[in-house]
Amino acid sequence: MSPTLLLPAGLLALLALAIPIVLHIARRTESLTVEFAALRWLEARPKPRRSLRLEELLLLAARLLLLALVAFWLARPVLWNVQDGRRVVALMPGVEAPPAGEDAERRLWLVPGFPAVGGPVPAAPANPVSLIRQLDAELPPSTPVTVVVPQILDGVDAERPQLSRRLDWQVAGPAAAAPAPDRRPPPVLTVRHAAGDETAVRWFRAAATAWAAADSEPAFEAAPTDQRIPRNTTHLIWLAPGPVPAPVVDWIRNGGTALMALDARVPVEGETQVVWADAIGEPLTVAGRLGAGRVIRLTRPLEPAALPQLVEPEFPEALMQMLAPSPAPARVAATDHAPLTGAVPYDQPPLDLRPWLGLIIALVFAGERFLATRRARAVAP
């Protein structure tokens, strides 16, 4: 432990120690004069000079101590490197706690606030990985940590967490295989093209065919732009140049997703972001918001000479990711999600001594008030 002062200038308040000393020197013990008859016949004589001396030393000492403590409180005393070296065992609610080791350890629930194990079992946290990162940040780098988790973790991030220390990662019970991802139904494609120009429709028909099962028809519908969009349309491909009709714009605002040709004009709110790029990072499509919907705009003409990705085997998957992006993984086998190391350790705050110093100040102040107001204070006759 290393004591220090965060605000040494607060020690200038020690100059106030001269105040009670001066007051005690200036103040004399009150004298009570008693008159009696024989004094009238005595001749007045000069009073003897009294030497300079301090009275009520205990009260003076209490006042000096009180001022000194206040000065140190203003200087903000702290202790650095105050570390609890005991192992921390963080348990996810619902897991069986491992047997206690020989060394002393702290057992905490891996929930917000990190309460100590021993009371009622709290509910499982919504995001355990975020709590593991918080625990890593709040503990000193030298503190060993054990985390006990169930076989399956829910509410996890898309990637394994990276911490500043190596955890003892324990999975309660036998290891379980990672849950199989849910099979997403392919989006239903509705294509609208300019009258007499169906050249680009074939690329999207091929993608819909690739999405469909071997024994089923592709979910695909194409027609000229003068045909109304079906009521159940969720994903629209617009291949006509010029301004997009108002009914289509309103459909997008109400939550639809539309892929627009390069020369189609439709409003976009806010900034756009790249959602499809080529091998060297050049954007092929950019997406933006329009009300509650999404507008995806091609940056090149729909022809293999300008967009060779149209004839590549990866085009159907790329199109699906543009129209219906895969959700971030939120459920994973705990054995596959053990944290990595390599993060920079967090600086630990010092221990603030002012709360304890404030308690001492209150006790000394109470003692000073008792000494200053007691009935037994001397009154010299």
Average pLDDT over residues 107-118: 89
3-state secondary structure the chain: CEEEECCHHHHHHHHHHHHHHHHHHHCCCCECCCCCHHHHHCCCCCCCCCCCCCCCHHHHHHHHHHHHHHHHHHCCEEEECCCCCCEEEEECCCCCCCCCCCCCEEEEECCCCCCECCCCCCCCCCCHHHHHHHHHHHCCCCCCEEEEECCEEECCCCCCCEECCCCEEEECCCCCCCCCCCCCCCCCEEEEECCCCCCCHHHHHHHHHHHCCCCCCCCEEEEECCCCCCCCCCEEEECCCEECCHHHHHHHHCCCEEEECCCEECCCEEEEEEEEECCCCCEEEEEEEECCEEEEEECCCCCCCCCHHHHCCCHHHHHHHHHCCCCCCCEEEHHHCCCEECCCCCCCCCEECHHHHHHHHHHHHHHHHHHHHCCCCCCEC
Average pLDDT over residues 129-138: 90
Same-domain pairing of 160 and 204: no
Same-domain pairing of 193 and 318: yes
Average pLDDT over residues 41-45: 60
Same-domain pairing of 262 and 360: no
Same-domain pairing of 175 and 258: no
Domain presence at residue 41: no
Q: What is the pLDDT of residue 47?
A: 57
User: In sequence order, what are the residues at sequence separation of 6 or more whose Cβ sits closer than 8 angstroms to the Cβ of residue 282?
Assistant: none
Same-domain pairing of 194 and 290: yes
Same-domain pairing of 203 and 266: yes
pLDDT digits (tens, 9 = 90+) for 193-228: 998 888 899 999 999 999 888 788 888 999 999 999
pLDDT digits (tens, 9 = 90+) for 158-167: 788 899 889 8
Q: Which domain CATH number covers 194?
A: 3.40.50.880
Domain presence at residue 44: no
Return mean pLDDT, the chain.
83
Domain presence at residue 46: no
pTM (two decimals): 0.48
Same-domain pairing of 113 and 212: no
Longest dimension (CA), the chain: 142
Average pLDDT over residues 368-374: 85
Average pLDDT over residues 336-353: 81
Domain presence at residue 380: no
Range of the domain at 25: 2-35+54-81+351-373
Average pLDDT over residues 84-101: 80
In this structure, which amino acid lies at residue 125?
A: P
Q: Is 50 exceeded by the pLDDT of residue 379? A: no
Domain presence at residue 263: yes
CA 169 vs. chain centroid, Å, equals 22
Same-domain pairing of 91 and 110: yes
Q: What is the pLDDT of residue 237?
A: 95
Q: Is 70 exceeded by the pLDDT of residue 364? A: yes
Same-domain pairing of 159 and 221: no
Q: What is the pLDDT of residue 31?
A: 54
Q: What is the pLDDT of residue 381?
A: 39
User: Does residue 295 or residue 24 have the better pLDDT?
Assistant: 295
pLDDT digits (tens, 9 = 90+) for 266-286: 999 989 999 999 988 899 999
* Beta-strand pair 189-193/220-224: parallel
Give the relative orientation of helices 354-373 and 57-74 as an angle to the nearest 10 degrees: 160
User: In sequence order, what are the residues at sequence separation of 6 or more whose Cβ sits closer than 8 angstroms to the Cβ of residue 177?
Assistant: 333
Domain presence at residue 42: no
Q: What is the pLDDT of residue 238?
A: 94
Average pLDDT over residues 46-57: 60
Q: Is 50 exceeded by the pLDDT of residue 249? A: yes
Same-domain pairing of 163 and 277: no
Q: What is the pLDDT of residue 100?
A: 67
Same-domain pairing of 60 and 94: no
Same-domain pairing of 141 and 251: no
Q: Is 50 exceeded by the pLDDT of residue 86? A: yes
- The structural domain count of the chain equals 3
* Beta-strand pair 168-171/145-149: parallel
Q: What is the pLDDT of residue 175?
A: 47
Domain presence at residue 49: no
Domain presence at residue 319: yes
